[in-house]
Structure 1
Amino acid sequence: MGVIYVDNRNNCSFYNNPNYYEYLIEYRGNFLEEISKVSYACGDIINNRFAIVSVKAGMIDNLILDVPSILFVNFREMFILESTSPENVSNIYQVKLNPYLSLDGSGILVGIVDTGIDYLNQEFIREDNTSRIDTIWDQTSPSNEGSSLFIGKAYSNDDINKAIQAQLKGEDPYNIVPSTDTIGHGTEMAGIIGARGYSKELKGVANNCTFAVVKLIQSATFQHDLKLNGFELPVYNTAEVVAGIEYLRQYASEKNKPIVIFLGFGCTDYSHDGSGLFAKYIDEVGSFRGVVVVTSTGNEGNAELHSSGYINNIGEINTSELNLTKQLNNLSFRIWIRKPNKMSLNVISPSGQSTKFITSKLYKSETFSFVYEATKLTLKFYVPDNVTGNQVIILTFTDIKPGIWKLQLKGEYIADGRYDIWLPPAITLPEGTKFLNSDPEVTLSLPSSSKKIVSVGYYNQESDSIVGKSGNGFPLNTYIKPDIAAPGVNILTTSLSNKTTTVSGASVAAAITSGVCALLLQWGIVERNDLTMYASKIISYLIAGASRKPFDIYPNAHWGYGKLDFLGTINALSGTRNLESQNNFDLEYSLNNMLLRFTLKKEVLFGDETFF
């Protein structure tokens, strides 16, 4: 299985070592043979185009020279989870389906690339006590000697069933399948997508689907840097994410099943134009029949961590002002200058000390010391970056002090003069840190700007308004993202140890949409109504069925083409008419003499009792 099943692996021992960095690379030729001769790096193949390398810190440029089969190296990108647990919840919304609905996800595999899954949760176990989970690749588990996996261990449906039987006998199931979801995010999102529904209010959108799960390993290097800044949260790296997606794609191919792959995380500091290796990989995956990847636009819409502008003439200067509210041990981000523009950079500290304008040169690196702040700055120029073609400047601060830092760009060669700066996610920065001249547009997270991914914003279904945090489009390319918006506030779901919880955030909307995509794949491929179900067609169906407010202009950067509307999508497919809705959250319709309903039903909690 690609990354996962290669005959001549390099037996890499550097993965998850904080002194080594993992990168996603594109290769052509004898990659494994060439990298096996290098002492400071190792790698494994993902598929016949992409691979993962682990290289000693600061040695990536050497690796490019020593391994000629490496064509492109993707920048390291930090991913965070994209849901939150609301406090003081009074209004809870359930994702429900009418019992007459014939679509339930049967025959569809739902892939979850996340924090894992609580496989002992009853909502993922059938009535005969067999698991609905076909496989778990736990990247955090110790690898068996001679394993075909480059990290971790895969557990089969048989393994999981044996663990369930062990639990029923009073034995320890984790002696058989030791994989757990200690965070709960993956379990909660899987519940929204396809909880069985033993508890009536917890029934997922596609409650008869089966699951294939990848538990991601956290990035040791990103975690180390965040801990030095006083933050501890789960963070992940591009390479392991891509490996997880490819595992699921190939698994579905071997089982000859359609698959929806849900991604519940995102990254802010990337090109936002679909030109990176991750975006290219997603578009490649979306070209396979019966494979649909779904993600959200993230939670950075109103974080004020994006600055952009245009320089119209050579010599013209624009300034972005960054207000940092607390000292950080380290801070790194990139300035993206759209090709073919070229600009020089001047950084001015809060005390007024300046680097002066530095003219960019290919792979040039400069280090500066700000005396009064006792801050060190390293600049690295890519002119152009060999993946995106843009001019990229990486700024890495050490012991950066609070205050207003000015980033001045001066035009050296100007076409349209566009530049952008995205900081890391708000959850990884001191509260109040922001650009004073921020731009709320183009704040959608990676990989939601990819062309062949279902990209979902989120709205508050009670107020029927977009949530300010929802990442905004449009990408810096020629296509529209987000595609649609879906509910994302106070959604009821199952959690660890069979408990229930409410969740909000961007990934919640993506989970609801993933369930709907599973139903569409069932209708199209399993029930043979449309055997040519590709990602692009699913996106078109969702767009065609989206509901729109009468006085708004669509598509727009917040809602995309409108709200997710399963009724509208089915109508677009079948041409049937709407039946009268019972309330604002009930969508009811008929198809082939069947009464169908997709319901978001409001509950108001009073003490320990629930009233409808």
Structure 2
Amino acid sequence: MTEEERERIISEEFADLLVEYSGDYSVFDRFPNATVRIINYIYAVVHIPAQLLTMEFVANLGYTVMPHCFGLISEASLEATKIPRIRNIPNFSLRGQGVLIGVIDTGIDYLNPIFQYADGTTRIVSIWDQTIESENYPEVGLYGTEFTREEINLALLSDNPLELVPTMDFIGHGTMVAGIAAGNEVPIDDFYGVAPASELVVVKLKQCKQSLREFFVIPEEVVCYSEVDILYGINYLLNVSSILQRPIAICLALGSSQGGHDGRGVLSNTMSIIGRRSGTAVVVAAGNEGNERRHYYGEVDRLTGYDTVELMVGQNEKGFVMELWGKSPSIYSIDITSPTGEYVPRIAASLNVNTEVSFLFEQTTLYLLYEMVETQTGDQLILLRFVNPAPGIWRFRVYERGDLNLGFHIWLPMSEFISPDTYFIRSDIFTTVLALGNAIVPLTVTAYNALDDSLYLYASRGFTRTEVVKPEITAPGVNVIGPTLDHGFVAYTGTSVAAAHTTGVAAMLLEWGFIRGNIPNMSTVELKKMILRGARRDEDINYPNRDWGYGILDIFNVFDSLRTGVVI
């Protein structure tokens, strides 16, 4: 790759597409004046001039090529999971020794003592900061800067460490996740990292490109990451794990409401592939969308021939993208009524519809895309892209052609990507697990309050759109103590907290299974079976269910089930 081609990776003048090529390089002939980077034997990133990224362009290639936009999922726990109890048993003092914990997030405060050994050296193997450009970029990414353990240790000895290693976590989410999963114990502040003997590999994500942000009408001030950069972050973690020949537990506390919510998609498929890799555990947060009123499920009334969807749009809403997913083989179409009563007649479904609608009495522009057979799912997608939507109640009548009455789902963007005053009047709390939480192989975690065993109020509920059980396990995620950027500690809440906690537990299990040789080829598949079999369950609740999955995480029960004869 030439230097000019490498520059396209970070240049705002070029947009990034995700293309499935599956070894057929002729696929790239459709992209003149483009640079191609291979991710793996299935997917590639294609960099095209940003001005080409229009609705017409996407309609011609298919919505699949658009990278999804990911945001941050959230802002006493050891006892709840019975970690101290298992550590008090001889030969079971599991602390993640020999295991790597990978965090792809907002970065890490490497100066915090909870990420250092007693002698003051770092417990961080390396940091890939995608936001700092230099010649010291990792080969798997070709951009950003990689900081090694040696460089971090030199910085820690310096009077001005940030001059030597300038990477910082300005938001604190990544530091929180890393601290809960792997931080040193600080009893005076009631803080206990789950796997304090593990070491960390960190990816600090760069913000997504402006072209992607503009396409999905995501506010400038909101933290937003591209699926492309997360993919390269995953490759980086796996590369470090392979070089060091050590197992790794990966925590992904990021989410997106885009896609079919069925475990398919480039990033979800990739996570399921690597989740089967020996010595790798993949843990993802379910999301905090359960009570945000951003999901709608409907079935067409057989008497009227349609279902009416009412959407409240807030006063300060600048725009958003809304996705309607219908189940094949039924065919869906819609008509539209604006808040002032302007009516757009039913837009008939055909193989590929791409149209722009302007409203006489409002400043709204609506871009509408029908994709009869979406490439990854085979189901129908209706994409509505609102720019400057008029506030008030919008009504959509959804029609279904066929006699099956299979129902349909509609999703609005996740928290922060849309105004809290924009929501469905008649919303549905279920099927609100975010990507990557719908991916089949990774372990998807939701949150509960360990003090009273109540489910976290805003936790996303399952199942997937195709009825796969997600989330699968529930872990402490309400008022859990974690580190702050001023080296203090506060209580955090959300499913990202629960995912961080569970990642630490995954590191403990990798130590027992992979490092100690009890299950030498342990992957996410085997690890997940152990965790689900050991889950604590209420005898008055049927499992698995949409709220709790298979129950509450209980590491003691995991090993107790093995002792009482359960075979993995």
State the partner residue of 1:53.
46
1:160 aligns with 2:147: no
State the partner residue of 2:314.
325
Which of 465, 482, 485 is matched with 2:474 structurally? 485
Which of 240, 244, 248 is matched with 2:229 structurally? 240
Distance 1:263 1:390 in 2: 27
Q: Residues 455-534 of structure 1: matches in 2 within 5 Å? A: 455-534=444-523
Change (3 A) 1:131 1:414: farther
State the partner residue of 2:19.
25
Change (3 A) 1:459 1:397: same
Over aligned residue pairs, what C-alpha RMSD do you find?
2.9
State the partner residue of 2:252.
263
1:186 aligns with 2:180: no
CA contact (8 A) 1:36 1:42 kept: no
CA contact (8 A) 1:344 1:411 kept: yes
State the partner residue of 1:249.
238
Q: TM-score, normalised by structure 1?
A: 0.84
CA contact (8 A) 1:74 1:276 kept: no
Q: TM-score, normalised by structure 2?
A: 0.91
Deviates more, 1:496-505 or 1:299-308: 496-505
Q: Which amino acid aligns with 2:47?
A: S
Q: List alignment gaps of at least 5 residues for structure 1.
A: 1-6, 85-91, 578-612
Deviates more, 1:407-416 or 1:503-512: 407-416
1:267 Cα deviation from its structure 2 partner: 0.8
1:299 Cα deviation from its structure 2 partner: 0.3
1:522 Cα deviation from its structure 2 partner: 0.6
1:57 Cα deviation from its structure 2 partner: 4.4
1:413 aligns with 2:406: no
State the partner residue of 2:142.
150
State the partner residue of 2:131.
140
Q: Which amino acid aligns with 1:572?
A: S
Change (3 A) 1:54 1:425: same
1:48 Cα deviation from its structure 2 partner: 2.3
Q: Percent identical across equivalent pairs?
A: 31
CA contact (8 A) 1:327 1:400 kept: no
Q: Aligned to 2:318, what secondary structure does the other structure show?
A: strand
Q: Residues 62-77 of structure 1: matches in 2 within 5 Å? A: 73-77=64-68
Distance 2:330 2:216 in 1: 37
1:311 Cα deviation from its structure 2 partner: 3.0
Q: Which amino acid aligns with 2:127?
A: I
State the partner residue of 1:602.
none
1:34 Cα deviation from its structure 2 partner: 4.9
State the partner residue of 2:562.
573
Distance 1:77 1:517 in 2: 27
**Offset from partner CA, 1:400-445 (integer Å, 9 cap, x none):** 1111111211122354432110001133322332111111110001
1:177 aligns with 2:181: no
CA contact (8 A) 1:112 1:263 kept: yes
1:335 aligns with 2:329: no
Distance 2:370 2:461 in 1: 28
Q: Which amino acid aligns with 1:27?
A: Y
**Offset from partner CA, 1:449-482 (integer Å, 9 cap, x none):** 1110110111122221111210000012253111
Change (3 A) 1:224 1:77: closer
1:117 aligns with 2:108: yes
Q: Name whichever structure is richer in strand by fraction.
A: 1
1:118 Cα deviation from its structure 2 partner: 0.9
Change (3 A) 1:60 1:208: farther
Which of 97, 101, 107 is matched with 2:84 structurally? 97
Distance 1:314 1:53 in 2: 48
Q: Which amino acid aligns with 1:22?
A: D
CA contact (8 A) 1:314 1:411 kept: no
1:397 aligns with 2:390: no
Distance 1:103 1:436 in 2: 49
Q: Which amino acid aligns with 1:337?
A: G
CA contact (8 A) 2:263 2:435 kept: no
1:18 Cα deviation from its structure 2 partner: 4.8
State the partner residue of 2:98.
107
Change (3 A) 1:61 1:386: farther
Change (3 A) 1:385 1:60: farther
Deviates more, 1:490-499 or 1:450-459: 490-499
Q: Which amino acid aligns with 2:115?
A: F
Change (3 A) 1:35 1:462: farther
Distance 1:227 1:282 in 2: 24
Q: Aligned to 1:44, what secondary structure does the other structure show?
A: strand
State the partner residue of 2:209.
220
Q: Aligned to 2:547, what secondary structure does the other structure show?
A: coil
CA contact (8 A) 1:94 1:202 kept: no
**Offset from partner CA, 1:27-58 (integer Å, 9 cap, x none):** 2347599579833x434222222222333244
State the partner residue of 1:42.
35
Q: List alignment gaps of at least 5 residues for structure 2.
A: none
CA contact (8 A) 1:314 1:413 kept: no
Distance 1:320 1:409 in 2: 7
1:229 Cα deviation from its structure 2 partner: 7.3
1:195 aligns with 2:195: no
Which of 335, 348, 354 is matched with 2:343 structurally? 354
Deviates more, 1:509-518 or 1:387-396: 387-396
Deviates more, 1:404-413 or 1:114-123: 404-413
1:145 Cα deviation from its structure 2 partner: 7.9
Q: Which amino acid aligns with 1:494?
A: P
State the partner residue of 1:427.
416
1:241 Cα deviation from its structure 2 partner: 1.0
Distance 2:292 2:46 in 1: 33
Q: Which amino acid aligns with 1:490?
A: N
Deviates more, 1:293-302 or 1:57-66: 57-66
1:220 Cα deviation from its structure 2 partner: 3.3
**Offset from partner CA, 1:331-390 (integer Å, 9 cap, x none):** 212111112221111111011111111112233211111111221111011111112211
Q: Which amino acid aligns with 1:575?
A: T
Which of 7, 16, 20 is matched with 1:13 structurally? 7
Distance 2:229 2:2 in 1: 19
Q: Aligned to 2:329, what secondary structure does the other structure show?
A: coil
Distance 1:37 1:547 in 2: 52
**Offset from partner CA, 1:127-168 (integer Å, 9 cap, x none):** 1222111111111110318863332121221221221222xx
Change (3 A) 1:412 1:228: closer
Distance 2:115 2:346 in 1: 58
Deviates more, 1:234-243 or 1:557-566: 234-243
Q: Which amino acid aligns with 1:570?
A: F
